[in-house]
Amino acid sequence: MPSVRLVNVTKRYGEITAVEGINLEVEDGEYLCIIGPSGCGKTTLIKCISGIIEPTEGEIYIDGELMNGVPIQERGVGYVFQEIALFPHMDVYDNVSYGPRVKGWDASRMRRLVDEMLNMMALRDRMHDYPMELSGGARQKAAVARALSSGSLLLLLDEPLGALDVKVRIALRRELRRMVKELGLTAIHVTHDQEEAMAISDRIAVMRAGRIVEVGTPQDLYLNPRRLFTANFVGEANFMVGEVAGSSGGEVEVRVNGEPIYSVRSSLLSSGDVLDGGRVVAAIRPEFVVMEGTDGMNSGFGGLTDGCGASWGGRVRSEAFLGSMVRYEVEADNGVLVAVKLPSLSVGSGFRVGSRVTLTFPPRHVLLYPYPPEGLERAISIE
């Protein structure tokens, strides 16, 4: 039953520090995703866990055992790369049975396991095909099946779906999670795709510039991000710099370019920040902003906003149809540009570029952060 524990893991290449002071615990049976912008160190970290890279400092434990110095083949991990590593001269069956075969399993036991993997991955029809005859999706499934049949209880996945088309990626991520859960494996999965991470994992570790910024469930990171960087990187958010103008009964009023916005979510602020005039950042997801036309047309959720929140006037500057959602950019009268996302079924074609609208920010969806010392731009920058 593999659990994984990283203690102060650092990897340096000469002057460059790829990952620094990483502390992370992955429980037995957990599916954890590591996300972050390119160059953040996520691939280096997973390579440290697999044993491909030896950390400069720190310890790596798998199942309570110290792994430093233990070669990759003795760590009991199944590893899947973005660049598919199937043996090109073997068909799917031989690829998938490779692990058990080299371990000298008897034929019937091997056959049972491989059959089960091929069934689970819906690859039975393709078992006599060679890798080059397969679609990208099928090849990646075969790579996963091979990693699973190796008998490893810890699966390490580095962008396993990265090279695939969207449709295949969405279908495969479901299967992957289902397999991991059915087989009771532990999985650590690196991806640059936030939606994939949310869909597939129990918890997500967000990395930036070699460090872990925040770890939490998808819901935590999306609905209650503790860091500005997370709020921006995991899903879209509106950020507004303002000053505290007062607080009462847990509700804080912030002035943004002269207009008020209210929040009941100020737990990240220190008592010093809440003093009148304290500089803070208010954040709200585009889909939580309520937009109403001045002609009485609305986004359909007016009734759901508890507490009225602040309302700003504004004008629609752009409209983008995204399929299930429509995204608007509204220039508020105080000069702030606000992104708003509405379910497309609820809007029809009601709002037009140039329309006058009213924006309401429900206080329970407005998160407040202390103004970052490095400035807002730097704090949320993806690079």
Partner 1 sequence: MPSIRLVDVTKRFGDITALDRVNLEIEDGEYVCVLGPTGSGKTTLLRLIAGVIKPTEGEIYIDGEPASRIPPQERNAAYLPQQYALFPHMRVIDNVAFGPMAKGLSREEAYEISKRMLEMTRLAWRMNSYPHELSGGMQQRLALARALASGAELLLLDEPLGALDARLRVELRYRLRELVKDEGLTAIHVTHDQEEAMAISDRIVVLRDGRIQQEGRPIEVYREPNSIFVANFVGGANFLEGFVHRRLNGSSIIQLRGGLRVRVLDTRFNLGERVVVAIREEATGIVPSSLKSKGGRGNLLPGRVRDISFLGSVVVYEVELVNGEVLNSKVPIQMDHGRFRVGDEVLLSLNPEHLRVYPYPPIGLYRELEAV
Neighbours of 301 (CB within 10 A): 18
Question: In this structure, what DSSP letter does residue 28 have?
Answer: T
The alpha carbon of 191 is separated from its chain's Cα centroid by a whole number of angstroms, namely 8
From candidates 14, 74, 132, 166, binder to partner 1 by CB under 8 A: 166
Q: Which of residues 307-326 bind partner 1 (CB under 8 A)?
A: 318, 320-325
Q: Are strands 337-343 and 325-332 parallel, antiparallel or unpaired?
A: antiparallel
Cβ nearer to partner 1, comparing 278 with 314 = 314
209 binding partner 1? (CB under 8 A): no
Q: What is the spatial distance between Cα 339 and Cα 331, in angstroms, rounded to a whole number?
A: 9
59 binding partner 1? (CB under 8 A): no
Q: Which of residues 83-142 bind partner 1 (CB under 8 A)?
A: none
352 binding partner 1? (CB under 8 A): no
Single-letter code of the amino acid located at 51: G
Q: Is 130 exposed, middle or buried (0-12, 13-18, 19+ CB in 10 A)?
A: middle
Cβ nearer to partner 1, comparing 37 with 76 = 37
Cβ nearer to partner 1, comparing 106 with 383 = 383
Cβ nearer to partner 1, comparing 55 with 286 = 286
Residues whose CB is less than 8 angstroms from the CB of residue 206 and which lie 6 or more positions away in sequence, other chains included: 35, 36, 212, 213, 214, 215, 221, 227, 229, 230, 233, 234
Task: Assess contact for 331 and 337: CB atoms under 8 A.
Answer: yes
Cβ nearer to partner 1, comparing 335 with 343 = 343
Question: Interacting stretch for partner 1, rule CB under 8 A, among 43-51, 60-68, 190-198, 271-279?
Answer: 190-198
Cβ nearer to partner 1, comparing 152 with 299 = 299
State in angstroms the smallest separation of the CB of 321 from partner 1.
Answer: 5
Cβ nearer to partner 1, comparing 132 with 304 = 304
The alpha carbon of 34 is separated from its chain's Cα centroid by a whole number of angstroms, namely 7
State in angstroms the smallest separation of the CB of 192 from partner 1.
Answer: 5
State in angstroms the smallest separation of the CB of 255 from partner 1.
Answer: 26
From candidates 229, 239, 262, 288, binder to partner 1 by CB under 8 A: 288
Task: Assess contact for 357 and 292: CB atoms under 8 A.
Answer: yes
Residues in the chain: 383
State in angstroms the smallest separation of the CB of 323 from partner 1.
Answer: 4
Q: What is the spatial distance between Cα 94 and Cα 78, in angstroms, rounded to a whole number?
A: 17
Q: What is the spatial distance between Cα 275 and Cα 257, in angstroms, rounded to a whole number?
A: 18
Q: Which of residues 19-38 bind partner 1 (CB under 8 A)?
A: 37-38
Cβ nearer to partner 1, comparing 69 with 354 = 354
- Give the x/- contact pattern for partner 1 in 227-246, rule: CB under 8 A: -----xxxxx----------
- Assigned token pair, 166: 């969207």
327 binding partner 1? (CB under 8 A): yes
The angle, 0 to 180 degrees and rounded to 10, between the axes of the packed helices 166-182 and 136-149 is: 20
Task: Assess contact for 91 and 130: CB atoms under 8 A.
Answer: yes
From candidates 108, 272, 349, 374, binder to partner 1 by CB under 8 A: 349
Task: Assess contact for 120 and 179: CB atoms under 8 A.
Answer: yes
Task: Assess contact for 150 and 156: CB atoms under 8 A.
Answer: no
Cβ nearer to partner 1, comparing 7 with 199 = 199
Question: Interacting stretch for partner 1, rule CB under 8 A, among 13-21, 61-69, 78-86, 162-170?
Answer: 162-170
Q: Which helix (H) or strand (E) covers residue 79, if one does? A: strand 77-80
Binding site for partner 1 (CB under 8 A): 37-39, 165-167, 170, 174, 178, 192-195, 198-199, 218-219, 222, 232-236, 285-288, 301, 304, 318, 320-325, 327, 329, 341, 343-345, 349, 382-383
